Amino acid sequence: MPPATSHLLSAIVLTSTILPSALGSQVAVKEWTFKGLDIPSIGLGLWNSKDKDATRAVEYAFDAGYSHVDSAAAYGNEDFVGKALQSSDTPSRHKYWVTSKLWNTDHRPGRVAPALKKTLADLSIPYLDLYLMHWPVAFLPDTEPGRTIVDQDTDIVMTWRAMEDLVRANLTRYIGVSNFSPRQLDTILKDCHICPYAHEFETHPYLQQQEFVDWHGEHGIKVIAYSPLANMNPTYKSKYPKLDPIVEDPFWKDMASRKNVTAAQAVLGWGIQRGTVVIPKSVHEKYIFENLASVNVTFSKAEMGEIAAQDKRSRFNNPSKDWGVELFEGLDDGYNRFFVEEL
């Protein structure tokens, strides 16, 4: 074990467990259990945080008391995030959680480990806490800029096998998935030796997906909610323009007033109370500090029922058409051929 990561695996236990699959059958899975930091309930999202803004955002987050940052190779800013992580003011590595993600062009098994090693070099850290398969879609590598071609010869199980080796090599403590459908998650669970620790996907009051969230909780898979503030990301400006920005939604303004908090704090507090890990994105010091206070917001059972009634089933991030693939099968505002054929 390399010296830089010798403290990483204080204990490993390999157990065999029978779990129901995502589509109802039972599968035997093996699970690696690590002692150490568990994923904090709130983290700093870094999507669309550009260059020095990303560096400053991480610095603000540590100053505020965060111990969790959510990154990805595709965000194009990991070297700037690394500048903050290597600062002398940053906590010791074992005291904070870092997630990153494998991009679609690196799904071929021989490209997986080099991709993670580049992420680690950019972030200036010796290991990740969590490495996710960013999307259940493989792209051909080395295509001309701006051109996307789906790699039909590389499937998600092949990629997952290579990701399992990253845990064995002590390059990451855990592995997981992102943006998977139930069927795709079922495919991984049927064949995994080291099974998903977490699933990161879009969920917020406008896209609650409560049944899907609950299923993960019942089976010990953490849910990381990206875009937990729904349509506040400028990237989503043109999607469902008739929907109010969630912090301007009269329901949430009223709910926040009842709690004497901001609308954003109320929305994030709901996400935490329902058991998801929220990763709001901001580069503004004020909002980064304010968002952290959401951990103290709580709701009654009746209020949780009111919020459930506000579900719009509206998904803001869906590149299916651009990529020519069928994503989010069977989920709200996703591809639903499977369920249509059953009717």
For residue range 37-58, list pLDDT tens digits in order: 999 999 999 999 999 999 999 9
Check whether 238 has a pLDDT greater than 90: no
- The reply to whether 3 falls in a domain is no
Per-residue pLDDT of 312-325, as tens digits, reads: 999 999 999 999 99
pLDDT of residue 339: 43
- The reply to whether 180 falls in a domain is yes
- Sequence-distant (6+) residues with CB within 8 A of 113 are 162, 165, 166, 169, 171
Per-residue pLDDT of 83-102, as tens digits, reads: 999 998 999 999 999 999 99
- The reply to whether 110 falls in a domain is yes
b/e code 208-247 from CB counts within 10 Å (16+ = b) = bbeebbebbeebebbbbbbbbbbbbbeebeeebeebeebb
The angle that helices 109-123 and 78-85 make with each other, rounded to 10 degrees, is: 50
pTM to 2 decimal places: 0.89
Q: Residue 148: which of 105, 114, 178 has the closest Cα?
A: 105
- The reply to whether 6 falls in a domain is no
pLDDT of residue 284: 97
Mean pLDDT of 159-181: 98
Residues 2, 7: Cα–Cα separation, whole Å: 10
Per-residue pLDDT of 8-28, as tens digits, reads: 333 333 333 333 444 343 333
Give me the phi and psi of 193, to 5 degrees please.
Answer: -100, -40
Across the chain, what does the average pLDDT equal? 89
Cβ-based burial of 25 (10 A; exposed 0-12, middle 13-18, buried ≥19): exposed
5-14, 180-189, 235-244: segment of lowest average pLDDT = 5-14
- The reply to whether 233 falls in a domain is yes
b/e code 120-146 from CB counts within 10 Å (16+ = b) = bebbbbbbbbbbbbbbbbbbbeeeeee
Sign of CA dihedral 109, 191, 340, 243: negative
CATH number at residue 312: 3.20.20.100
Note if 226 is an active site residue: no
Read off the amino acid at residue 286. K
Report the percent of the chain where pLDDT is more than 70.
87
Check whether 4 has a pLDDT greater than 60: no
Tokens of 169: 């090599």
Residues 103, 73: Cα–Cα separation, whole Å: 6
- The reply to whether 1 falls in a domain is no
- The reply to whether 196 falls in a domain is yes
pLDDT of residue 35: 60
Give 7's DSSP letter.
Answer: T
Q: How wide is the angle at C-alpha 42 spanned by C-alphas 38 and 45, nearest 5°?
A: 110
Q: Residue 151: which of 105, 119, 116 has the closest Cα?
A: 105
Per-residue pLDDT of 98-133, as tens digits, reads: 999 999 999 999 999 999 999 999 999 999 999 999
Q: Residue 134: which of 171, 100, 158 has the closest Cα?
A: 100
Among candidate residues 75, 127, 206, 287, the one labeled active-site is 75
Structural domains of the chain, count:
1
Residues 82, 119: Cα–Cα separation, whole Å: 9
pLDDT class for 255, splitting at 50, 70, 90? very high
Mean pLDDT of 175-180: 98
Per the CB < 8 A criterion, the answer to whether 270 and 307 are in contact is: yes
pLDDT of residue 219: 87
134 marked as part of a ligand binding site: yes
Mean pLDDT of 269-275: 98
CA distances for 268 relative to 1, 171, 241, 281, angstroms: 39, 31, 22, 12
176-180, 267-271, 334-338: segment of lowest average pLDDT = 334-338
What residue numbers bound the domain in which 251 lies?
Answer: 11-342
